[in-house]
Chains A and B, each alone.
Chain A
Amino acid sequence: MFLINCPFCGEREQSEFKAGGEAHIVRPKQPTELSDDEWAEYLFMRKNIKGVQFERWNHVHGCRKWFNMVRDTSNDQIKAVYKMGEKPPIK
């Protein structure tokens, strides 16, 4: 339970949002040339970090826009929110 500052709508309650998992996983340009191991790595393997994690969220009950968030998964503290395609403001 926390508040999220949607980059488009402003501060809203987390229940208006849908989590979209780990961010910045790039879809391989040519999936047909990957080995099964590489495809599984892209599709299923996750860092699942305890600590600062980069993730995707969707304001599904509001503007329905996707955006990125940096959050500490050990205490749910949000470090930063930034739009899709932008560089993360922190490392």
Chain B
Amino acid sequence: MKQLRDLSKQKIGVVAAGHSSVIANMAGLKLPLESKPLQALVSEPVKPIIDTVVMSNAVHAYVSQSDKGELVIGAGTDDYVSYSQKGSHDIVEGTLNAILELYPIFSRMRMLRQWGGIVDICPDASPIISKTSIKGLYFNCGWGTGGFKATPGSGDLFAHTIANDEPHKLNAAFNINRFVSGDLVDEHGAAAVAH
């Protein structure tokens, strides 16, 4: 595959989540990412029962209740690369096992929807907001199973990086070169699972 060298006068910022590698491959670039299905489930709506987000790293589960009354449930990814947007049944089973460990009262809940989103995971489970070896090509990727709450901040820093062709001091550590220098961000060690 031929790698592009320079986008000359243009600048392109790529924010493609699970499909980041697909875009990178078009430019002949390989990223340190693996894309995997992350499943979530939504239950039938019920009256208010939990008023906070509950996340357990011990049994590995996530649950919160939406304004409409549905329980939103999630957990870990499948361990194989896939863009099929559907995960394995045993992951769903493990997720619900964990939820029932915390809340036996949910055992009679019916699930209305289940889906798999594709998440791009870095070896150190931290995002990349960075320049690349191709001049004018920038990536904001590798958010993996996290990221929603960081969206506005990451957008701001990504815009700064593209405009100045240099990272802001807040995202300097999240450069793609850390996989060459070895200066990884140890998010796996810090958060163990979801974050």
The dominant DSSP class at the A interface is mixed
| Total A-B Cβ pairs within 8 A | 73
In the complex, per-residue mask of A59-89: 1 if CB is within 8 Å of any chain B CB, else 0: 0000000000000011110000000000000
Checking A1, A37, A55 against B81 with a beta-carbon cut-off of 8 angstroms, the contacting residue is: A55
A75 surroundings in chain B (CB, below 8 A): 84
Q: Which 3 A-B pairs have the closest CB atoms?
A: A19-B80, A48-B21, A44-B32
Interface size class of A (residues with CB under 8 A): 20 to 34
Residue B86 at the chain A interface, CB threshold 8 Å: yes
Are the CB atoms of A41 and B84 closer together than 8 Å? Answer: no
B180 A36 Cβ-Cβ under 8 A: yes
Chain A contacts for B79, CB-based, 8 A: 18-19
Q: Are A47 and B30 in contact (CB under 8 A)?
A: yes
Residue in A15, A40, A74 whose CB lies within 8 Å of B180: A40
B194 CB to closest chain A CB (Å) equals 20
Instruction: Say how far B185's CB is from chain A's closest CB, in angstroms.
Output: 13
* A46 near B84: Cβ-Cβ < 8 Å: no
Residues A1 and B89 in contact, CB atoms below 8 Å apart: yes
Contact A44-B84, Cβ < 8 Å, known A15-B90, A21-B34, A50-B22: no
CA distance A47 to B32 in the complex (A): 9
- A75→B87 CA distance, assembly (Å): 11
Binary flags per residue of B124-145, CB closer than 8 Å to A gives 1, else 0: 0000000000000000000000
- In the bound complex, CA of A76 to CA of B133 (Å): 32
| B120 surroundings in chain A (CB, below 8 A) | 48
Write 13 A-B pairs (CB below 8 A) sorted by A numbering.
A21-B81, A37-B180, A45-B30, A45-B179, A46-B21, A48-B22, A49-B25, A73-B35, A73-B82, A74-B83, A74-B84, A75-B84, A76-B86
